[in-house]
Amino acid sequence: MFAFRLDTAAGVPPYLQLVQQVRQAVLLGYLGEGDQLPLIREVVEQLAINPNTVSKAYRQLEQEGLATPRPGVGTFVTGSTGATVSPATYSALRKRLDRWLRDAHAAGLADEEVSALVSVARRELAQEGVA
Amino acid sequence: MSVVLEARGLGKRYRSNWALRDCDIELPSGRVIALVGPNGAGKTTFLRLATGLLRPTTGTVTVLGAEATADSAEAHAQVGFVAQDHPLYKRFSVADLLRMGRELNRTWDQDWAVRRITALDIPLTRRAGELSGGQQSQVALALALAKRPRLLVLDEPLASLDPLARREFMQTLMSAVAEPMSGDEELTVLLSSHNVADLERVCDHLVIITDGRVQLAGDIEDLLAEHRVLSGPNTGVLDHADSAHGDSTIHATRGDRQVHVVVRNGGTQVMPGWESHPIGLEELVLAYLSRSKVGDEPVRRPEVEEVRS
């Protein structure tokens, strides 16, 4: 069974944390097509979390085409997040990122500084409407 | 939105002291609602008015369509209440308490109650006074839930519990919310707390009370989206609120050089040199709690629009 976790200090809304964890698990291959996601009441029991939050996360996954509900049974993983990105593109991007990270570390940047740099760059891109 | 509780001009005065005043609010059904405020803000008074345990000095409070008064059996049957420190008759055994619940309530699900207590490994023969604090809170919660209320009111349910007991308590509570009820009825939970961190993962609706007045009410997600934190140079004059943006300043934290301002309904545009950040629940609550304190900030009273309907 897929296990969710919740980081209340993350500043990310709880429902979004659940969505991101499923997306990431699909990307990393921990979840695949046809796998069943935990029932809402199982997630509620496990995390002591509001059931509305879990249903909201599952609805979002459905909208993204990442999960499909089967009434009376549960919610199942369908499709994959990588559907719009080919494996070749994905691995090329990953290689460039690895190279960049190595450069950053070689230049003496600590992990924290790397994260800060990425956050700032993403924020500025978002403001330009790119991401 | 279907409404579980509606207060109109609700107020309660003890001698010359108003514990709650001018309270106009509607609470949506099927939610887990957090009532937040400092000690003495009027939270307990509001909860006791909502459950009919207190008679209002002014105005009315309607719960599930019926006015909440002490003699309204109809309203009582649908409302569960767990008072602060979840008091139980200490000399009663757990089985006695269940029997009392069965005798005193019109609706009562004995099977559910016994299953719940058994699942918690609490012996039915044990006296309430001999249970741990966490177990006592679980028994009090099971008693309140066994009557199958449509509105469950909890006054500071977590205050006296250790972290593990808190989690177990919330697990039981959230499972009850997730459980389907008969027909299309849904359970609404209204709980008070002064600890925001406890509430983040369980509540989806927020009411902030300070000094006997409702300062803010709404769906947490909407409220977070409506507020921003603006950070910029402390020029001494401020406020960002006085600028052309038409923001409504809730609270400002000033450093020597920098100032952080919590604003409501601020646009995404900010003055040059200022940054705009999303706000977290704890920061939002603290901004409203700090603003009502008498200090260097001007004390603003909420405007009509701030009490969402």
Q: Which of B185, B211, B237 is the last residue of a domain?
A: B211
Q: Which of A83-97, B23-37, B118-132 has the lowest mean pLDDT?
A: A83-97
Give CA–CA dist B67/B94, Å, rounded.
Answer: 33
SS3 assignment, position B171: helix
Q: Show the tokens assigned to B298.
A: 């001007």
Give CA–CA dist B300/A104, Å, rounded.
Answer: 49
Determine the pLDDT at residue A127.
Answer: 74
Determine the pLDDT at residue B308.
Answer: 41
What is the assigned CATH class of domain A14-80? mainly alpha
Phi first, then psi: what are they for B230, rounded to 5°? -105, 130
Nearest to A51 among B170, B178, B221 (CB): B178
From B201, which residue of chain A is nearest by alpha-carbon distance?
A49
* β-strand partners of B27: B5
Determine the pLDDT at residue B156.
Answer: 92
Whether residues B90 and B231 share a domain: the answer is no
User: First and final CA of chain A: distance in angstroms?
Assistant: 33
Q: Is the pLDDT of residue B190 over 70?
A: yes
Phi first, then psi: what are they for A15, rounded to 5°? -65, -35
SS3 assignment, position B112: helix
Residues of B in contact with A48 (CB under 8 A): 167-168, 170-171, 174, 201-202
Domains: count for chain B: 2
Whether residues B177 and B244 share a domain: the answer is no
From A9, which residue of chain B is nearest by alpha-carbon distance?
B197
Q: How confident is the model at residue B267 (pLDDT cuts 50, 70, 90)?
A: low
| pLDDT tens figures, A50-79 | 999 999 999 999 999 999 999 889 999 997
Does B204 lie at the interface with A, CB-CB under 8 angstroms?
yes
Amino acid at B178: A
Q: How confident is the model at residue B13 (pLDDT cuts 50, 70, 90)?
A: very high
Residues of B in contact with A47 (CB under 8 A): 201
The answer to whether residue B141 sits within a structural domain is yes
Amino acid at B102: R
Q: Which of B180, B211, B242 is the last residue of a domain?
A: B211
Whether residues B204 and B229 share a domain: the answer is no
Could you tell me which of B122, B202, B131 has the C-alpha nearest to residue B161? B131
Residues of B in contact with A44 (CB under 8 A): 171, 174-175, 177-178
For residue A6, the number of C-alpha atoms closer than 13 Å in the C-beta half-sphere is 22
Whether residues B19 and B111 share a domain: the answer is yes
Determine the pLDDT at residue B182.
Answer: 64
Q: Do B32 and A50 touch (CB under 8 A)?
A: yes
Determine the pLDDT at residue B98.
Answer: 94
Q: In angstroms, what is the C-alpha Rg of chain A?
A: 17
| pLDDT tens figures, B278-289 | 888 888 999 999
Whether residues B77 and B161 share a domain: the answer is yes
Nearest to A50 among B168, B177, B278 (CB): B177
Please, what's the largest Cα pairwise distance for chain A?
55
The answer to whether residue B307 sits within a structural domain is no
Mean pLDDT of the B179-199 span: 82
Whether residues B58 and B129 share a domain: the answer is yes
The answer to whether residue B308 sits within a structural domain is no
The answer to whether residue B143 sits within a structural domain is yes
Whether residues B155 and B276 share a domain: the answer is no
Determine the pLDDT at residue A118.
Answer: 87
Interface of A with B (CB under 8 A): 6, 8, 11, 13-14, 40-41, 44-45, 47-53
Angle made by CA atoms B200, B51, B198, in degrees to the nearest 5: 15
Q: Do B178 and A44 touch (CB under 8 A)?
A: yes
CB pairs under 8 A between A and B: 49
Domain boundaries, chain A: 14-80, 85-128
Whether residues B138 and B238 share a domain: the answer is no
Pairing of strands B188-193, B151-154: parallel
Q: Do B202 and A51 touch (CB under 8 A)?
A: no
Give the domain extent around B112.
3-211
Q: At what angle do helices A40-47 and A51-63 cross, to 10 degrees?
A: 130
Q: Show the tokens assigned to A37.
A: 């996601």
The answer to whether residue B176 sits within a structural domain is yes
Whether residues B170 and B239 share a domain: the answer is no
Counting as low any pLDDT under 50, the low residues of chain A are none
Contact B124, B94 (CB under 8 A): yes
Give CA–CA dist B64/B78, Å, rounded.
Answer: 8
| pLDDT tens figures, B218-247 | 999 899 999 988 888 877 655 544 444 455
Any idea what the CATH number is for the domain that residue B228 is in?
A: 3.40.1310
Residues of B in contact with A13 (CB under 8 A): 221, 224
Whether residues B234 and B179 share a domain: the answer is no
Whether residues B198 and B238 share a domain: the answer is no
Q: Is the pLDDT of residue B304 over 50?
A: no
Q: Which of B142, B177, B211 is the last residue of a domain?
A: B211
Does B202 lie at the interface with A, CB-CB under 8 angstroms?
yes
Higher pLDDT, B182 or B61: B61
Contact B81, B104 (CB under 8 A): no
Could you tell me which of A43, A8, A17 has the C-alpha nearest to residue B163? A8
Residues of A in contact with B119 (CB under 8 A): none
Residues of A in contact with B204 (CB under 8 A): 50, 52-53
From B280, which residue of chain A is nearest by alpha-carbon distance?
A11
Q: DSSP strand E in chain B: where?
A: 3-14, 17-28, 32-36, 58-63, 66-67, 79-82, 151-154, 188-193, 205-210, 213-219, 227-233, 248-254, 258-264, 275-278
Q: Show the tokens assigned to A90.
A: 């994905």
Determine the pLDDT at residue A67.
Answer: 93
Determine the pLDDT at residue B135.
Answer: 93
Residues of A in contact with B278 (CB under 8 A): 11
Cα-Cα-Cα-Cα dihedral of B259, B261, B267, B272, to 10°? -10
Q: How far is CA B57 from CA B9, B14, B76, in A?
A: 10, 9, 20
Average pLDDT over chain B reads 84
Determine the pLDDT at residue A32.
Answer: 86
Determine the pLDDT at residue B266.
Answer: 64
Determine the pLDDT at residue B159.
Answer: 87
Highest averaged pLDDT of the listed ranges A88-92, B78-82, B204-208? B204-208
Give CA–CA dist A63/A24, Å, rounded.
Answer: 17
Mutation target for B interface from A16, A44, A58, A122: give the one with most B CBs within 10 A. Answer: A44
CB within 8 A of B83, min separation 6: which ones?
B155
Determine the pLDDT at residue A82.
Answer: 53
Any idea what the CATH number is for the domain that residue B94 is in?
A: 3.40.50.300
ipTM here: 0.72
Whether residues B9 and B77 share a domain: the answer is yes
The answer to whether residue B306 sits within a structural domain is no
Mutation target for A interface from B120, B167, B174, B223: give the one with most A CBs within 10 A. Answer: B174
Give CA–CA dist A89/B67, Å, rounded.
Answer: 64
